Chains A and B, each alone.
Chain A
Amino acid sequence: MSTPISIRLTLNGTAREAAAEPRKTLADFLREDCGATGTHLGCEHGVCGACTVIVDGDPVRSCLMLAVQAQGTEITTIEGLADGDEMNPLQRAMKAAHGFQCGFCTPGFLMSITAMLDENPNPSETEIRETLSGNLCRCTGYESILKGVIGAITATNGSNA
């Protein structure tokens, strides 16, 4: 153990500060110290993608990043997508597509999709599949998730992916 370090960051638009040991992962920091339990841990070794959050615009596996490395960053998690109870277009499209089942992989998928669409608002199906191959879902077989992504693209752009 070593002395906790004070970490300041912006989480879903709100400034947060908490102390954490240098070894604490960003995922644990978000969940335990910021109370943001929407981010889930599925493997804790960087494969399943459930813990994906957006750090300064990039999708990051928060189980592989230390909280201290997030000092001063701007982080978006699943809790930052909706406006109160009002879902954003991606969430609404996923609901319409019955995108997810158990919901455990959901935060990672939503954040990976959000980052993907921020960079490329109109990806092809191949690009979608390649980008999302780093997120594992055990329930859906991915069919409904892909449908939800395409629904979100259509809703936002009014065009087909």
Chain B
Amino acid sequence: MSTVAASMPQRYVGTSVERSEDQRILTGSGTYVDDISLPAMVHATFVRSPFAHARITGIDTSEAEALPGVHAVVTGEALQAMLDPEAPSPGGFGTAPMKFTVLCTDKVRLVGDPVVMVIADSRYIAEDAAELVVVEYEPLQPVADAATALDPSSEPIFEDLGRNVSQDATVHVHGDVDAVFAKADRIVTTRIEQHRHQNVPMECRGCVADFDHATGHLTQHSANQGVHSARSTLAVQLGLEPDKVRILCKDIGGSFGLKNGASREEIAVAAGSRLLGRPVKWIEDRNENLAFSGHAREETLEVEAAVNDDGLILGLKVRMVCDTGAYPAMGSMLGGIVERMIPGPYKMEALQFEYVPVITNKAAYVAYRGPWAAETFTRERLVDQIADELGMDRVEIRMRNIDYQGVDPGTMITGSTLKSCTVRESLDTLVEKIDFAEFRARQVAAHAEGRYLGIGVASYIESAPGPYNGRPLGRERINAKLDDDGTVLVFTGQMPHGQSHETTYAQIAADAFGVDFDQVRIVVGDSDVVPPGNTGGSRGAPMAGGGTLHAARQLRGKVLDVAAHLLEASVDDLEIVDASVGVKGVPTSRRTLADIALAAKSGDFPDEVDADLTVEVKYEGGMGGWAGGTHCAIVEVDVETGRVHIDRYLVIEDCGQLINPALVDGQICGGVVQGIGAVLLERSAYDEEANFLAGTFMDYLLPSTTEVPHIEIVHLESVFLDDDVNFRGVGEGGMIVCPPTLISAIEDALSPFGVHITEQHVPPLRILEMIGAI
């Protein structure tokens, strides 16, 4: 195959191309899963547990079954008989060592646990029938928090496990922890808590299952971040050959980590479709979504820091307890990521990290935009505390502990090179953008008037994809082909749900191939067609974007080879202009890409010409690089009402080369506002009996236009490591670093009260408590 010049002119990458998605989204012609309607379709709903922890002693479905319009009332035991008895517990994303069933059979483990599925002509009738199902429960002692779960005498939520600690504590040591703690001038200790909150996509979960008995095929219309993981889960649970399961996804109304694979409900609905031989739709309601779909972030980290009096942080000892909820899936693997990331860009010499995941009668831990964010929150709160104890400036201590990495990269104590990390540069930009002296003067003047202003700063890095460290950064598969009409098709297992992949990958492919943006189409959401993959970890841009670049470039090479044969010219003399290939300077020689695609299909080529105009790329991430940066918030706290007003919010971040600046800014603003929500509004609250208290949008509060500030963004695009691909992830950063930034600012505002904040959720009432007003 011909060698293609590495640097094509970039017409689209780096510009805010308007979104391909918008024509349908802005006109109401998108297709979300609830918009799917199939002939003879019926509707499912679930009878759910009102108890946090209880044994099921009896189920009477007779009245529900007798209701006109009801087609099936399926208990947990009945459902098990429809599934593959060899299938593992339906753990979803991550690992699930415990045994449990799709619908509860013996016991319920949280409020909202699904017990019975009802299928009827309409959702209205299904919900009527669900009311008629009688489930008898024998309540058990609930395990409402991590402290209870850690008590060996607590009632085991999984009897086969016999305890509520889901795996043996692991203690990992990096560097010489004892020596570092022995030589430090002082030990600073803290205990940091993150509170339970959750994804809350505006579209709840749902699916339409369509089992065809004639062919034995299941087609599941779904909304999830990767069609292939849903496919394999459904195949395994239903005992189907994987090639007989097809997952289709169209538009998805947000996810933020929630919609991964096939949920327990989606397995049940698929089995229901097979039972009835007709399509079954299930659309979760908001109460189910808030109570059961999954929660994130309930973690406590106890930290000891070895510190020198000049502000240098030498090492950390960390013990992390994670409340993974009732069905540990992702929660069981979280500790490893937090451990790897907790040093951040700081040049510490040693780390001891212990992870203790516990099981409670609450919703399962799921991925939520930067699931490992506890590392940033904990570290940045700790750094502020160390600065305060030493009487140092909070920005100065960061500058002292973080090196410029572009030239002479350091290495994180957990192993990764810090090559390309520009956090130190972001701190320089911070002090250029914010006049700290002016702010401090304003703060003092305001205080004299009884007003409380504060400024907060926090820094982070994200491994999206991380710099090359001797091993591949991933294996992202991208396929591409030249279609009969000359369209460049790019197939990806990424499943966009707001990130605008159809636009950004088309920008990349159009530049790499040398065609107009409109000549490229990105194909997603069909497990029969797209390669494996899923959207997550802020890897859509660096990994699939990089794969798209290489796939489009390889396809261009193949097309030029074919064209060279057809035009009897040398590849070096060819150019692609206006969707045609021709000899440079000879416009009459041009043949359209459609002509070339059709000619290639004819197969009349000598052996040395590869006329198969398809490519399959497995992209390993190239040289990669870090995403990261620093945020700064200026707030005013009203000490009468406890309300926090954000006067200014500044983002300084580095996500490498920007593909589409407007879309990058959208990702950042969205993430920051989720962080603001976490700090000021959002809490997935339970009472001491593990009853769920936040089941509506009147209880679980989301940020709206009146709470959010204008967000200023400065992009650093400093250190590129790769010859071709320097896109880095940007989806999660805002959410990761906003909470410690905002808490830092609130704490600064409340410094006259001597308030030290070690928690993440400070709604007005909590602020009034902290300052002793109530």
Residues in chain A within 8 A of chain B (CB atoms): 1, 21, 23-24, 31-32, 36-45, 47-48, 50, 77-79, 81-82, 85, 87, 91, 94-98, 100-107, 110, 128-130, 132-146
Contacts and interface: CB of A to CB of B under 8 A. Distances in A.
B26 interface: yes
A48 B697 contact: yes
A136 B344 CA distance: 33
A140 B19 contact: no
A144 B669 contact: yes
B665 interface: yes
B76 interface: no
A45 B286 contact: yes
B663 A102 contact: no
B556 interface: no
Given A129-B705, A144-B669, A139 B498 contact: yes
Interface string B10-39: 000000101101111111111110110100
A95 B18 contact: yes
A136 B18 contact: no
Interface in B198-255: 200-204, 251-254
B730 to A, nearest CB: 13
B203 A110 contact: no
Nearest to A80: B28
B201 A143 contact: no
8 contacts: A36-B28, A37-B28, A79-B28, A82-B27, A95-B19, A95-B22, A100-B22, A141-B672
Given A42-B253, A103-B253, A141-B666, 13 more contacts: A36-B28, A38-B30, A39-B28, A85-B23, A96-B18, A102-B203, A102-B253, A104-B201, A133-B706, A136-B202, A142-B704, A142-B705, A146-B705
Contact of B666 (A43, A101, A146): A101
Contacts of B40: none
A139 B670 contact: yes
Contact of B202 (A79, A105, A143): A105
Contacts of A91: 26-27
A27 to B, nearest CB: 11
A85 to B, nearest CB: 7
Contacts of A31: 34-35
Given A48-B697, A140-B670, A102 B18 contact: no
Contacts of B22: 94-95, 100
Closest 7 CB pairs of A and B: A38-B28, A104-B253, A102-B498, A141-B673, A103-B25, A141-B669, A78-B28
A156 to B, nearest CB: 16
Given A79-B27, A137-B202, A144-B666, A98 B16 contact: yes
B124 A40 contact: no
B28 A132 contact: no
A42 B254 CA distance: 11
A41 B18 contact: no
B34 A41 contact: yes
Given A24-B124, A38-B28, A103-B253, A138 B202 contact: yes
A122 to B, nearest CB: 18
B702 interface: yes
B497 interface: yes
Contacts, number: 183
Nearest to B500: A101
A42 B22 CA distance: 20
B201 A102 contact: yes
A50 B30 CA distance: 14
B593 to A, nearest CB: 25
A83 to B, nearest CB: 10
A50 to B, nearest CB: 6
Contact of A101 (B31, B125, B498): B498
Interface of B: 16, 18-19, 21-32, 34-35, 37, 68-69, 124-125, 128, 200-204, 251-254, 256, 285-286, 497-500, 662-663, 665-666, 669-674, 696-698, 702-706, 708, 710-711, 734
Contacts of B201: 102, 104, 138
Contacts of A100: 22, 25-26
Contacts of A135: 704-705
B631 to A, nearest CB: 13
Contact of A87 (B26, B286, B697, B704): B26
Contacts of A87: 23, 26-27
Contacts of A23: 124
Contact of A104 (B32, B672, B704, B705): B32
A98 B26 contact: no
B23 A40 contact: no
A98 B29 CA distance: 17
Contacts of A43: 286, 696-697
Interface centre among B19, B28, B125 (most CB of A within 10 A): B28
Contact of A143 (B25, B251, B665): B665
A134 to B, nearest CB: 8
A4 B28 CA distance: 28
Given A38-B28, A91-B26, A141 B708 contact: yes
A107 B698 CA distance: 22
Question: Considering residues B251, B666, B672, which has the most beta carbons from chain A within 10 angstroms of its beta carbon?
Answer: B666
Contact of A21 (B16, B21, B124, B497): B124
Given A98-B18, A138-B256, A77 B203 contact: no
B254 A139 contact: yes
Given A87-B26, A141-B708, A142-B708, A98 B286 contact: no
Nearest to A87: B26
A38 B696 CA distance: 24
A81 B286 contact: no
B21 A38 contact: no
Contacts of A104: 32, 201-203, 253-254
Given A40-B32, A94-B22, A142-B705, A102 B27 contact: no
Contacts of A98: 16, 18-19, 500, 662-663, 666
Contacts of A32: 37
Given A47-B696, A104-B202, A141-B670, A40 B26 contact: no
A119 B32 CA distance: 31
Contacts of B251: 102-103
Contacts of B34: 31, 37, 40-41
Contacts of B253: 40, 42, 102-105
Nearest to B660: A98
B203 A40 contact: yes
Nearest to A132: B705
A32 B121 CA distance: 13
Contacts of A85: 23, 27
A101 B18 contact: no
A45 to B, nearest CB: 6
Contacts of B705: 128-130, 132-133, 135, 142, 145-146
B124 A44 contact: no
A134 B286 CA distance: 17
A47 B698 contact: yes
A133 B704 contact: yes
Contact of A38 (B27, B203, B204): B27
Task: Pick the most buried of A36, A95, A132, A142: most chain B CB atoms within 10 A of its CB.
Answer: A142
A143 B705 CA distance: 9
A45 B287 CA distance: 10
A143 B666 CA distance: 8
Contacts of B28: 36-39, 77-79, 81, 107
Contacts of B497: 102
Nearest to A38: B28
Contacts of B125: 1
Given A47-B697, A95-B18, A130-B706, A101 B670 contact: yes
A68 to B, nearest CB: 14
Contacts of A95: 18-19, 22, 26
Nearest to A21: B124
A24 B672 CA distance: 38
Contacts of B124: 1, 21, 23-24
Nearest to A142: B705
